[in-house]
Chains A and B, each alone.
Chain A
Amino acid sequence: MKPIIQAQELSCFYGIVLGLNNVSFEVPAGITGLVGPNGAGKSTLIKLITGQLAPSSGTLRVFGESPRNNPKLLGHLGYCPEREQLPKDLRPVDWLRALASVSGTPWGETKVLATKALDRARLGQEHWKKRIGTYSKGMKQRVKLAQAIMHDPKLVVLDEPMNGLDPMGRSEFGEILKELHQGGTSVLVSSHILHELEFLCSGFVMLNWGRVLASGSQIDIRKTVVEWSDEISIRCSQPSELAAHLQAQGLLRGFLADGQDLTIWVNEPENFLAQWPTLFAGCDCQIFEVRNKNQALSSIFERMTR
């Protein structure tokens, strides 16, 4: 599949301060996570992708075009910035209508678009008549997301959209992004909290100190794991029964069952992971996920930055 974003030897400096340093990567269509600690260069990369910064060197192509000074391309992008950038005195529908109109929608159609976008962003209708200044952080995030998806872009770029959201809000936000993806919109979402994105994104770009540590699909990134932890997490329907089944085979050094989660400690993790379907045979239990601790993206990222 043709990548939607291509960076080649891309660098960006703020005077003498490093933003991005000679990075090359490709982002395919789908939901892609842009992860890295604070100061890794995530926001710089997002600003480059949305045409707000010019690269100091190298090239960046979004849908095959340079995004800088390219209003035609920007018309196909939606951007949800990290900081609150909302007019306090306006009601969300009024603001969205103005932005939709600025994005090229005929005025008569803007109301439909604005209300649908607020619906899609799951902002309850009972809040539409209030001024944005009176909104909570989560509600403001939804308005920001609504303005980004309202004109139905091909790519939505979200800079730390889940900051300040409660767990329910994060889960809903994830659902919205999945819906967008199902509708044919690609999503690039940044976060410094990896586990937030682990179940949402098909691919990742991992950044640190302005450099790309890894990029590609989750499977590809996980393949880079060479050291296995003796700790393995399993999600299954009957953790206690599975633990007993494995214990009977003399494979466990210890285990911890909690709800549907089972954490086990084994002697030879590499062999265990290679043979687990055989080892689990005979236990009447539904397996949802088997994962070595080192396969968690946060662990992979930690090792890469060590």
Chain B
Amino acid sequence: MKHAWNAQYRRWEGKSVGVWQRRLSIARYGLRLCLSGKIIKIFLVLAFAQTFLLGGVFFLFGQLVAPESALLTWLEGLGGQEIIKIISALTSWALLYPEICVDGIYRVMYYLLTFSGPFLSMIIVALFVHRLIANDLASNAIVIYNSKALTRWDYLIGKFIVVSTILSVVWILPVITSWVLSNFLSPDWSFFYHSFPSLLRGLTVGLVAVFSLSCLALLVSSFARKTGAAVAYWILGWISLGIVASVASVAHPALDYISPIQAIYAFSGGVFKMLDLVTDAQNMLPFFGGFFNRVSAGNEPSDLPISNGEVFLPLLSLSLYCIISIVVVSRRVRSS
């Protein structure tokens, strides 16, 4: 190894690391700063706990459809013949229609996950948004960063990695971890194959949500010259855009996507297509069809308060927010 300093003068002679390493250094330093509070750690643990909730549901489902599982034996002991019949029917359907039964349960659970995501994101981002860019702008440390061997884009990429890593704990990590965990514990290796489309749907929604919310968090953080203001802007922006969107949507439903959260909900509906899932289940599964007719008094699935959502308009709205954020933030952090 080449010596770092020579005896005559303490001159650095080692090899410099690449630009991605430098960006990751900004991210590492930023993460350390953003995760320094206790409350944020509690919320991140809560967000990650969703993994075990999802994994538990998937595991139970796997055990229900697995012949000779300990859970089945226990349920048989509890409920006798009635339970055995229902479970036998479930097992048969799962074997006959795995694309509905296996994929369906993953799809429903990942869809439900998208409802907790925005709430957790709002709180978690509010806990660290002031430490992203606002801190550097308020203390003028941005001047020192700008004088280093980095461009403003390197700085922004580093900061983006900070937010997206934290938000991934809410949106992406539970999806991937619960999928891997539950499939390793599943009774049949075909679960990997049949639940894979749901994983892709979950990841698509997660990636879009993480990317757009990260851009918005950077935007809000770069607006604030005082660190406290960043938190206020984030919460007020969240609430006010929600109110504006709900009022504007009376004039035209598409205006609901003024609120990024409504856009994420709609996009999630468009990706998971819950109405299609219910319709397929009703058509293919006799048990589900009968059950559906009983609970919905013979209505069509389209009469239920579920929809296939939309993909294009919500995505357009989120893209616009991202573009605006990138343009504004890059101007806010440039040298002069």
Residues of A within 8 A of B (CB): 47, 50-54, 69, 71-72, 74-75, 77-79, 81, 83-90, 98-99, 101-107, 109, 112-113, 116, 120, 147, 151-152, 183-184
Chain B residues whose C-beta falls within 8 Å of the C-beta of A184 in the assembled complex: 9, 11
Contact in complex: B4, A79 (CB < 8 Å): no
From known contacts A69-B151, A79-B144, infer whether A107 and B25 are also in contact, taking CB-CB under 8 Å: yes
Contact in complex: A86, B17 (CB < 8 Å): no
Q: How far is the CB of A226 from chain B (nearest CB, A)?
A: 40
State the total of A-B contacts with C-beta under 8 angstroms: 116
Chain A residues whose C-beta falls within 8 Å of the C-beta of B28 in the assembled complex: 98, 101
**Residue from B5, B139, B148 in contact with A85 in the complex, judged by beta carbons closer than 8 Å:** B139
Cβ-based interface call for B225 (8 A): no
From known contacts A101-B25, A104-B16, infer whether A87 and B139 are also in contact, taking CB-CB under 8 Å: yes
Contact in complex: B141, A87 (CB < 8 Å): yes
Chain B residues whose C-beta falls within 8 Å of the C-beta of A112 in the assembled complex: 4-5
**Residue from B14, B15, B36, B144 in contact with A81 in the complex, judged by beta carbons closer than 8 Å:** B144
Contact in complex: A47, B336 (CB < 8 Å): yes
Binary CB contact string for chain B from 1 to 45 against chain A (1 if under 8 A, 0 otherwise): 000110001111011110101100110110001001000000000
Q: How far is the CB of A190 from chain B (nearest CB, A)?
A: 15
Contact in complex: B11, A152 (CB < 8 Å): yes
**Residue from A69, A74, A85, A120 in contact with B143 in the complex, judged by beta carbons closer than 8 Å:** A85
Residues of B within 8 A of A (CB): 4-5, 9-12, 14-17, 19, 21-22, 25-26, 28-29, 33, 36, 135, 139-141, 143-151, 154, 335-336
**Residue from B11, B139, B140, B145 in contact with A102 in the complex, judged by beta carbons closer than 8 Å:** B145
Given contacts A50-B147, A72-B149, A98-B25, 17 further A-B contacts (CB under 8 A): A47-B335, A51-B147, A71-B148, A71-B154, A77-B147, A78-B147, A81-B143, A85-B141, A101-B17, A101-B28, A102-B25, A103-B22, A106-B14, A106-B15, A109-B12, A152-B12, A183-B11
Chain B residues whose C-beta falls within 8 Å of the C-beta of A89 in the assembled complex: 33, 36
Q: How far is the CB of A24 from chain B (nearest CB, A)?
A: 22
Q: How far is the CB of B140 from chain A (nearest CB, A)?
A: 4
From known contacts A52-B335, A151-B12, A183-B9, infer whether A103 and B144 are also in contact, taking CB-CB under 8 Å: no
Q: How far is the CB of B192 from chain A (nearest CB, A)?
A: 37
A78–B147 Cα distance when bound, in Å, is: 7
A151–B12 Cα distance when bound, in Å, is: 7
Residue of A nearest to B144 (CB): A85
A17–B5 Cα distance when bound, in Å, is: 46
Chain A residues whose C-beta falls within 8 Å of the C-beta of B11 in the assembled complex: 152, 183-184
Q: What are some 7 contacts across the A-B interface (CB < 8 A)?
A: A71-B150, A84-B140, A85-B140, A85-B143, A98-B26, A102-B26, A183-B11
Chain A residues whose C-beta falls within 8 Å of the C-beta of B150 in the assembled complex: 71, 74, 102
A104–B15 Cα distance when bound, in Å, is: 8
From known contacts A74-B148, A102-B148, infer whether A152 and B22 are also in contact, taking CB-CB under 8 Å: no
**Residue from A53, A77, A102 in contact with B336 in the complex, judged by beta carbons closer than 8 Å:** A53
Interface centre among B4, B9, B144 (most CB of A within 10 A): B144
A113–B11 Cα distance when bound, in Å, is: 10
Q: Nearest 3 pairs between A and B by C-beta?
A: A75-B149, A104-B16, A101-B25
A124–B12 Cα distance when bound, in Å, is: 22
Contact in complex: B12, A105 (CB < 8 Å): yes
Chain B residues whose C-beta falls within 8 Å of the C-beta of A90 in the assembled complex: 33
A234–B135 Cα distance when bound, in Å, is: 52
A103–B143 Cα distance when bound, in Å, is: 14
Chain A residues whose C-beta falls within 8 Å of the C-beta of B149 in the assembled complex: 71-72, 74-75, 102-104
Contact in complex: A104, B22 (CB < 8 Å): yes
Contact in complex: B139, A52 (CB < 8 Å): no
Interface centre among B146, B147, B335, B336 (most CB of A within 10 A): B147
Chain A residues whose C-beta falls within 8 Å of the C-beta of B135 in the assembled complex: 87
Q: How far is the CB of B13 from chain A (nearest CB, A)?
A: 9
A106–B135 Cα distance when bound, in Å, is: 25
Contact in complex: B140, A81 (CB < 8 Å): yes
Contact in complex: A103, B148 (CB < 8 Å): yes
Chain A residues whose C-beta falls within 8 Å of the C-beta of B141 in the assembled complex: 85-87
Contact in complex: A98, B29 (CB < 8 Å): yes
A51–B149 Cα distance when bound, in Å, is: 11
Q: How far is the CB of B231 from chain A (nearest CB, A)?
A: 16
Chain A residues whose C-beta falls within 8 Å of the C-beta of B144 in the assembled complex: 79, 81, 85, 99, 147
A107–B32 Cα distance when bound, in Å, is: 15
A52–B146 Cα distance when bound, in Å, is: 7
**Residue from A69, A74, A105 in contact with B147 in the complex, judged by beta carbons closer than 8 Å:** A74
Residue of B nearest to A149 (CB): B10
Chain B residues whose C-beta falls within 8 Å of the C-beta of A79 in the assembled complex: 143-144, 147
Q: How far is the CB of A79 from chain B (nearest CB, A)?
A: 4
A101–B143 Cα distance when bound, in Å, is: 17
